[in-house]
Structure 1
Amino acid sequence: MDQMRAAMFDGYGPPEVLYAGSVPTPAAGPGEVLVRVHAASVNGGELAGRAGRVRLVTGLLGRGFPKRVGMDFAGEIAAVGAGVSGYGVGDRVWGGLGRRFGSAAEFVAVRPELISPAPAGWDLVAAAALPGVGTTAITALRDKARLRAGERLLVRGASGGVGSVAVQLGRAYGAHVTGLAGGRNLDLVRELGADEVHDYATTEPADLGRFDVVLDTVGTGLPALRRLLAPGGRMVAISFDLDRLLPSLGYLAASSVFGSRRVRFFSGNPTARLFADLTAYVDAGAVRPVVGGIFPLEDIAGAHRALEAGGVRGKIVVRVV
Structure 2
Amino acid sequence: MTEMMRAALYDRFGGPEVLYVGEVPKPVPGPGEVLVKVGAMSINGGELHARAGRFKAVTGRKFPLRTGLDFAGEVAQLASPVAGLAVGDRVWGILPRSSGFGSAAEYVVVRPEQMSRSPKGLDPVEAVAMPVGTTAVTALRDKARLRPGERLLVRGAAGGVGNVAVQLGKAMGAQVTGLARAESLALVRELGADEALDYRATTPADLGRYDVVLDTVGKDLPDYRRLLAPGGRMVAIAFDTDRIAASLGYILASAVHGRSRVRFFSGNPKTELFNELTSYVEQGTLRPIVDTVFPLADIADAHRALEAGGVRGKYVVRIAS
Shared fold, TM over 0.5: yes
Q: Does 1:157 align with 2:160?
A: no
Please list, as runs of the form range in 1=range in 2, the aligned pairs for 1:43-58 lying within 5 A after superposition: 43-58=44-59
The one-letter code of the counterpart of 1:294 is V
Tell me if structure 2 keeps the 8 A contact 1:281–1:287. Answer: yes
The normalised TM-score by structure 1 is 0.97
Aligned mate of 1:72, from 44, 67, 70: 70
Give the conservation status (yes or no) of the 8 Å contact 1:230–1:261: no
Partner residue of 1:110? 110
2:224 is paired with a residue whose SS is: helix
SS in 2 for 1:189: helix
Kept in 2, the 8 Å contact 1:148–1:174? The answer is yes
Count the aligned residue pairs. Answer: 317
Quote how far apart the aligned CAs of 1:85 are: 2.4
- CA distance in 1 between partners of 2:205 and 2:59 (Å): 37
1:57, 1:195 → 2: CA distance? Answer: 39
- CA distances 1:106-142 after superposition (whole Å, capped 9, x unpaired): 11111100011100021111111111x2011111111
Indicate whether 1:124 and 2:161 are aligned: no
> Unaligned regions of 5+ residues in structure 2, if any?
none
Partner of 1:19: 20
Runs of 4+ displaced beyond 4 Å: none
In the TM superposition, residue 258 of structure 1 has moved relative to its aligned partner by 2.5
Q: Tell me, what secondary structure is at the counterpart of 1:101?
A: coil
The 3-state SS of whatever aligns with 1:162 is helix
Q: Give, in whole Å, the separation in 2 of the partners of 1:28 and 1:213.
A: 42
Q: Write the distance in 1 (CA, Å) between the matches of 2:291 and 2:108.
A: 24
State the percentage of identical aligned residues: 68
1:92 aligns with 2:90: yes
Distance 1:127 1:83 in 2: 25
Counterpart AA for 1:143: D
Equivalent position SS for 1:294: strand
Query: Is the partner of 2:219 in helix, strand or coil?
Result: coil
SS of the equivalent of 1:77 reads strand
Which stretch shifts more, 82-91 or 266-275? 82-91
Kept in 2, the 8 Å contact 1:30–1:83? The answer is no
**How do residues 206-225 of structure 1 correspond to structure 2 at under 5 angstroms?**
206-225=205-224
CA–CA distance in structure 1, aligned partners of residues 130 and 222 of structure 2? 29
8 Å Cα contact 1:106-1:320 kept in structure 2: yes
- Any unmatched runs of 5+ in structure 1? none
Structure 2 SS opposite 1:292: strand
Aligned counterparts of 2:271 and 2:62: Cα–Cα separation in 1: 30
Question: How big is the shift at 1:83?
Answer: 4.4
Q: 2 CA distance for matches of 1:64 and 1:256?
A: 37
Aligned to 1:256: 255
Q: What is the SS of the residue equivalent to 2:285?
A: coil
Please name the residue that 2:135 is paired with.
136
Cα displacement string for residues 222-252 of structure 1 (whole angstroms, at most 9, x for unaligned residues): 0110000001100001111011111111110
